[in-house]
Amino acid sequence: MHEVIVACVDGSPGGYAAVAEAAELARRFNARLVALSVEEGLPRYAATMGEVDEFKRERDTYFETVGREAARIAGEHGVTLVHDTRIGHAADAIVRFVEEVGADLVVLGYKGHSRITSFVIGTTAQKVNAYSRASVLIVKNTPPPRISDLAGHQDIGAEDHDPAPR
């Protein structure tokens, strides 16, 4: 079903959750796993080229560490991972990379945004979903709430799922 899976990882808990999920899928489908990190932007007001170079070195070091951690997580699932880093806007870089490597699945970590932020500028996941030819899976790094924790919530029909008899 899946032959090439791209896991997007930025060093956040959601990004590492995406790697773990993608690694498990890669193991199950015997797919190639590629992790992608995207460096977004340079300092806005750098006084010298030295400041730009230092910023770039720091980001490169950061994403090398992210790549090593992603490879470790993939290894826990019994798969190898190739890590690549691109520079640019996250959604654009992801869509282009997915096309370049011929991926059929993109796995992204969930980051909560306010409704206004999402409405005005959209999210990376929304943009990747809209423009990528590959399927998109969004992974949350927290377990879903238990039904018993939401007993008073109107939308889930908690009264039908309450395990404790009354």
Model pLDDT for residues 16-31, shown as the tens digit of each residue: 999 999 999 999 999 9
**Adjacent-strand bridge partners of 6:** 34, 106
- For the segment 41-52, what is each residue's pLDDT rounded down to a tens digit? 765 665 677 777
Identify the band that residue 138 occupies on the pLDDT scale cut at 50, 70 and 90: very high
Domains with residue ranges and CATH for the chain: 4-144 (3.40.50.620)
Sorting pLDDT into bands at 50, 70 and 90, what band is 156?
very low
Percent of the chain with pLDDT over 90: 58
Q: What is the mean pLDDT of the chain?
A: 83
Angle at 137 between CA 6 and CA 152, to 5 degrees: 150
Residue 89 has pLDDT above 70, yes or no: yes
Query: Under 8 Å CB-to-CB from 31, ≥6 apart: which residues?
Result: 2, 3, 4, 5, 25, 105
Please tell me which residue, 123 or 127, carries the higher pLDDT value. Answer: 127
The burial of 59, by beta-carbon neighbours within 10 Å (0-12 exposed, 13-18 middle, 19 or more buried), is given as middle
Is residue 94 within 8 A of residue 103, CB to CB? The reply is no
Give, to the nearest 10 degrees, the angle between helix 90-101 and helix 124-131: 40
